[in-house]
Amino acid sequence: MDKALLLVCMLVLFSGLISCSSQLSDTDSGTTRQTDIFTSISLAETISVEGEGVTVDGSQLVITSAGTYTLSGELSDGRIIVDTKDEADVIIILNGVNISCSVSSAIYIKSAANAFITLAEGTENYVADGDSYFSEGSAVDEPNAAIFSKSDLTINGNGSLTVTGNYNNGIQSKDDLEITAGTLVVKAVNDGIKGRDSVVIRQASVIIEAGGDGIQSTNDENAEKGFVLIESGYLDITVGEDGVQAETDLTVSGGEITIFCGGGSANSSSVNSSNPAGGMGGSWGFWGVDDNTAASAVTGSAKGLKAGGQLTISGGNLKIDSSDDSLHSNSSLLIGGGSLILSSGDDGIHADTSIEINAGTISILKSYEGIESAEITINGGSISVVSNDDGINVAGGNDQSSINGRPGQNSFTSSTDNWLYINGGYLVINASGDGIDTNGSAAMTGGIVIVSGPTGNDNGALDYMGTFKVSGGYLLAVGSSGMAQAPDSSSSQYSLMLNFSTVQSAGSLIHIETSAGEDILTYISPKAYQSVVICSPLLSSGLTCLVYTGGYSSGTATDGLYSGGVYTGGSQVLTLTISGVVTQAGSGGSGSFPGGGSFPGGGGRP
């Protein structure tokens, strides 16, 4: 009978260990180095322990050995401390706990080889600290988060955890921090989640409300550290400063990510409302005062995703509403996939050195300037930009479209060596300032570009200082005529520039066809315009074109550009012949072109 009872006890213990083991999610941190210590702890006014590896002093529990520790119950104004020199890992299973501490971190991992906090399946767990701490030593190393670790920390499991950081941060590790499963809700007066060496998130559901940054990695001493990697999961971040900030590289390869920071795009600051350059009165650009460092504590920035090194997005669905730049890199930025919906009080996408877009769907619903860098390359993707100033700005952080600059403009200098490359993709720009502004040069070899540019004559749909060479693709630039430019004569693909003598109303069609009746262009503009530039493989030397305004089309309009159908009912205003690489009709614009001559704004032949 005693042997049978012993056998039953062993089976129960074995099944319990299997259950504990099943709570652990796979991580990329390597195989956990476990010991044979499995301890059960019941939290209450009096802490009960079944097992070894811990000491208890009133409401303070100290884990002194590596092992697996299962915690349950409520600990009011107490602490869980991990302090072990063992080479094996410490695994803490939260099995329905409510832990609060009024004077320090509620969970403090002081020393461990690696620490794991596992959320038992189906359980709800709560951890909170107070709004003031007592001093334990050096201010640099003191705990300052509700969950604070001086060792590598991984949070996993299939339960939920709510963390409230009333003193400073929510969850913080002085080394690497991984969140690989579970549902986390983090509320903090400063930063939500912070890992000095790195932060990695995959497969977890994370909701953050914080007064500072949402997610932050801050190591600026080692180029291999200080990074943030988001591979998958669900993130909902509402913060006062940066949504996600990495001192070095920031990579997003998947996940559902929503970020609202700095009060959103509606909370940008005032520029000179009487500014005549571009007519950009209103509220823009407050947060980007100084972009020389990544840490928001220095810059006071409120960017959506911010990297001191390279910012890479290869997948995921992102929705960002930021008072500062939605995407920002102090170095380079690469987009290779994903769906991005961005609203910004400053730049939609900014990088100091370079931006490369190869794929993905990008919608910049609101911005001061849409896409800005010293060099921009577009190889693919579908991109839509709405901007209060320039749609695309190459090397124009302090360009001439804002008299006396603006608060929040990014710090890089313009140079004629800077370039815009368009090799593919689909790009639609609706800009109140310059549609495409390059203080250097541009080269287009493919893709489709549709620009609805400014209505005022102090900006242009195209604005470049060097050359704008087109050898392929399709370009349509519609806007005012005062500073209108077409691609330059070094292009191998032909362009036609039409400058009307009067402003054409918004919603009116312009139609161009050959003398044989083949369609070259049918377009309906969302804004008033006086200049139309088209660069198309359908144009060739000696081709006779007929220009119409008004009328109707039975075709399908996409971003104002019609395809298919029949055009009828318009007024022919011009007949011309393509006489060179760039043919201009009508006065206006920057520079002179062959094939000129003025024509009226509509209502009959010239």
DSSP state of 265: G
Distance of CA 253 to the CA centre of its chain: 12
| CB-based contact 418:439 (threshold 8 Å) | yes
Q: What is the pLDDT of residue 409?
A: 54
Closest by CA to 88, choosing from 156, 34, 125, is 34
DSSP state of 283: B
d(CA 17, CA 43): 20
Q: How far is CA 346 from CA 269, 476, 505, in A?
A: 9, 26, 29
| CB-based contact 429:455 (threshold 8 Å) | no
| CB-based contact 314:252 (threshold 8 Å) | yes
Burial status of residue 62 (CB atoms within 10 A of its CB: 0-12, 13-18, 19 or more): middle
Closest by CA to 21, choosing from 38, 9, 40, 8, is 38
Residue identified by tokens 């370079």 is 354
Backbone φ, ψ for residue 436 (5° rounding): -120, 120
SS3 category, 13: helix
E strands within 480-564? Answer: 495-504, 509-514, 519-524, 529-535, 544-549, 552-553, 556-558, 561-563
- Put residue 268 in one of left, alpha, beta given phi > 0 → left and psi -120 to 50 → alpha: beta
| All residues at 6 or more sequence positions from 523 whose CB lies less than 8 Å from its CB, including other chains | 476, 478, 509, 510, 511, 532, 560, 561, 562
Q: Kindly write down the DSSP assignment for every residue of 20-69, as one continuous string.
A: HHHTPPP-SS------S-EEEEEESSS-EEESSSEEEETTEEEE-SSEEE
Closest by CA to 352, choosing from 333, 379, 324, 326, is 333
Question: Which tokens hold the place of 420?
Answer: 């815009």
In single-letter form, the type of residue at position 205 comes to S
Question: Which tokens hold the place of 178?
Answer: 């991984």
pTM comes to: 0.88
Burial status of residue 134 (CB atoms within 10 A of its CB: 0-12, 13-18, 19 or more): exposed
SS3 category, 267: helix
Distance of CA 108 to the CA centre of its chain: 33
Backbone φ, ψ for residue 11 (5° rounding): -65, -40
Sign of CA dihedral 521, 527, 531, 537: negative
d(CA 320, CA 344): 8
Q: How far is CA 514 from CA 389, 517, 518, 543, 602, in A?
A: 35, 5, 5, 7, 19
d(CA 270, CA 282): 6
| All residues at 6 or more sequence positions from 393 whose CB lies less than 8 Å from its CB, including other chains | 369, 370, 371, 372, 399, 434, 437, 438
The secondary structure element, H or E, covering residue 92 is: strand 90-101
Burial status of residue 263 (CB atoms within 10 A of its CB: 0-12, 13-18, 19 or more): middle
d(CA 284, CA 226): 30
Residue identified by tokens 């620009």 is 451
At residue 295's C-alpha, the angle toward residues 290 and 299, to 5°, is 25
β-strand pairing of 183-188 with 382-387:
unpaired
Burial status of residue 414 (CB atoms within 10 A of its CB: 0-12, 13-18, 19 or more): buried
Q: How far is CA 181 from CA 26, 70, 231, 232, in A?
A: 9, 18, 12, 10
d(CA 440, CA 412): 13
Question: Over the chain (606 residues), what is each successive 10-residue block's mean pLDDT?
Answer: 41 40 40 75 97 97 98 98 96 99 97 98 98 73 93 98 99 98 98 98 99 98 97 98 98 99 82 35 43 46 97 99 98 99 98 98 98 98 98 68 41 70 99 96 99 96 97 98 96 98 96 97 98 98 98 98 97 96 82 38 35
Per the DSSP assignment, residues forming a β-bridge with 312 are 251, 334
